[in-house]
Amino acid sequence: MVRIKAVFFDLHGTLVYKKRSSEAEVISELLFKNHYEVSPQQFEAAMQFVSIIDYPRYGYKNWRSHLKRLFWRLKMKVDTSTLHQVAQFLEDNSYLLYPDAAEAVMNAHRADFRTAIVTTIAHFKFERAIESIKSCLDFVMTGYEAGVDKSNPRMYLKLLEILNLKPEETIMIGDDLRLDILLPKRLGIGTILLDREGQHPVNDVHPIVRDLNEALNVILKLNRRIA
């Protein structure tokens, strides 16, 4: 076995969460009031397209530029006031750190692990949420830095190259079975599934934990066994 040198963290659902999850419904209602007919599903689809296809290519730095592209995708030109209202709502409904996130990342840093975030999500959407742990992160890999979305293995491979790590020296922690566990595992990266709600059955394929501190303890135990 190889000693673990780095811990990668998923973002959404692992380190951070949204204040409210019904964004599309609220924004659709706001747009209808301002005489723009955009359904919740249309808004969600356009948001997904811009976030996953356009952001890795163009790297939008704020909600206004992101939304301009989104409405362009919808073939719709909204007035400045409406654009401001939608942007303001999204800024107010920003990401928040989970209670265990700061402690786990800081402890990983203190334990001399290289640490990084792996996400497709645009940096401006979560930069305030991670302010308290920013100094403990060696790299924040978003879709723009990678040039691809997270379902493309190139994101993980590029991060390994940037941090000069071998896959077997790294463990990824996340809540998405496909993107955070199965994909990096195929690359030789160790994985730990974060299951905050206890929905996944215990198995022998990958460790399952209920919080991030438990995940870090699993990694520390692995290294103690090697030592």
My answer on whether 76 and 106 are in the same domain is no
My answer on whether 196 and 130 are in the same domain is yes
Whole-number pLDDT of residue 225: 85
- In tens, the pLDDT along 169-203 reads 999 999 999 999 999 999 999 999 999 988 877 77
My answer on whether 68 and 103 are in the same domain is no
My answer on whether 65 and 108 are in the same domain is no
My answer on whether 42 and 147 are in the same domain is no
Q: Is residue 158 part of a domain?
A: yes
Pick the last residue of a domain from 51, 74, 92: 92
- In tens, the pLDDT along 97-133 reads 999 999 999 999 999 999 999 999 999 999 999 999 9
Q: How many domains does the chain have?
A: 2
CATH number at residue 146: 3.40.50.1000
Burial class (CB in 10 A: 0-12, 13-18, 19+), 213: middle
Whole-number pLDDT of residue 167: 98
| 208 φ/ψ angles, rounded to the nearest 5 degrees | -120, 130
Contact of 97 with 133, CB cutoff 8 Å? yes
My answer on whether 37 and 127 are in the same domain is no
Contact of 43 with 25, CB cutoff 8 Å? no
Q: Confidence class of residue 19 from pLDDT cuts 50, 70 and 90?
A: confident
Show the domain range for 24.
20-92
Whole-number pLDDT of residue 227: 63
Q: Is residue 1 part of a domain?
A: no
My answer on whether 52 and 65 are in the same domain is yes
Whole-number pLDDT of residue 21: 73
My answer on whether 123 and 199 are in the same domain is yes
Q: Is residue 120 part of a domain?
A: yes
My answer on whether 129 and 217 are in the same domain is yes
Of 110, 89, 73, residue with least CA distance to 29: 89
